[in-house]
A = this chain, B = another copy of it.
């Protein structure tokens, strides 16, 4: 998964991007990059690691310019990690161009093979480089037209930011899988995967980039056009369930509100007689508050999260594998001892983490442990940008909830239904919610984009 950020028209574009990426850090911790334009040249810096560690004050000072784009990235391909860090930038016949990509191109391998047959040379294994090659071969005069020509050959999920010497171009794929919003910071325009980046900057959220919309910002101001034929939208529901920050507005909704509603609905679908409701912090917190309120059971922070580790789901390496979840979470014995506990988590992927959490709660004295998951069973991998494991690793693809309960050793398990999830998501934005459609392929296997057999494994290689 990845986060992208852009700014046009601010004298400290690099610093603004640095801060914006910091607010999007949860979307990717493996590498971070910024490309700045001063009107004449693009200057890139790409680094491994967290935003706060990756850039020095001197490096930022060496990036003058009033427009910039940035990227934070998580990926599975460890070996060539820095090479694949984004934004990807090159010089070509029309000058310089850089791209920051959130999503995944389903037909990238095919396109790459064709380009290579035609003499193209690739530096990275990233599908963003495929995009750039397509753009370089397009014959249109304006960058935005070359980009559209290139993207018409492409299938998949993409929220994109492009930077040239003079322009910033933002766009989302016609189905709108991944988020991207437009904000205003004084005289500057800002773009971010999530609105929490605007809050940090005290920028104002204007609206989201629409699915299939191309937004161009340059010296003449902001303009927009829609070169793609309209398609039904398919915003990723997993962004609401787990991925986005709870303080963000995405898809026209407050993520926190959605999660609280998921928790309330979960309490209705899977009630249980218990003494306390405990969240798996921090991703399960809002749902647990909703559950506790709906069920009228006291809410307690029976699991404490260390401030000094990242999310389990997203960490590329665990240096001390044996300790796993314990490095991140600890149980509070005084709270749990002798209690019947409802523990609320957002999703259950392999089951190994949940199993350790249940054990931790029991070791702390919990008399009963009832696991409640604020989403449906995760049965299918994502091909649109979320780095889920392959199907065979997804425990719910081959096991019933009862079997899973046995594996994780809880007294009962309760998953939210697909309908319940969708109703809660809709309910969180009553005004326009009815019309919006979502991608729920990871829960249902209904992939909105068809693909041919054989492409799946190669698709999964690199996620932006």
Contact = CB atoms under 8 A, between A and B. Distances in A.
Interface in A325-360: 326-327, 330-335
A90 B298 contact: no
Interface stretch (A162-170, A307-315, A405-413, A417-425): A307-315
Name the interface size band of chain A: 35 or more
A210 B50 CA distance: 42
Contacts of A305: 282
Interface stretch (A63-71, A118-126, A233-241, A372-380): A118-126
A410 to B, nearest CB: 20
Contacts of A370: none
A321 interface: no
Interface in A82-133: 90-93, 113, 116-117, 119-123, 132-133
A123 B282 CA distance: 42
B323 A254 contact: no
B200 A330 contact: yes
A176 B196 CA distance: 45
A160 B326 CA distance: 27
Contacts of A309: 52
Interface string A292-322: 0100001111001111111100000001100
A256 B25 contact: no
Contacts of A245: 304, 330
B330 A199 contact: yes
Given A200-B327, A247-B330, A121 B307 contact: no
A456 to B, nearest CB: 22
A120 B123 contact: no
A161 interface: no
A461 interface: no
Contacts of A320: 15, 19
Contacts of A123: 90, 123
Contact of A246 (B92, B121, B285, B301): B301
Interface in A258-307: 282, 285-286, 289, 293, 298-301, 304-307
How many of these chains are in the complex?
4
Nearest to A117: B93
Given A119-B136, A334-B254, A289 B301 contact: yes
A458 B246 CA distance: 46
B299 A257 contact: no
A301 B323 contact: no
A257 B335 CA distance: 8
Contacts of A25: 306-308
Contacts of A452: none
A57 interface: yes
Interface string A46-69: 000011100001000000000000
Given A132-B121, A323-B19, A257 B334 contact: yes
A437 interface: no
A117 B306 CA distance: 47
A16 to B, nearest CB: 11
Nearest to A132: B121
Contacts of A93: 113, 116-117, 119
A28 to B, nearest CB: 12
A305 to B, nearest CB: 8
Given A50-B308, A117-B93, A256 B57 contact: no
Interface of A: 15, 19, 22-23, 25-26, 50-52, 57, 90-93, 113, 116-117, 119-123, 132-133, 136-137, 196, 199-200, 202, 245-247, 249, 254, 256-257, 282, 285-286, 289, 293, 298-301, 304-311, 319-320, 323, 326-327, 330-335
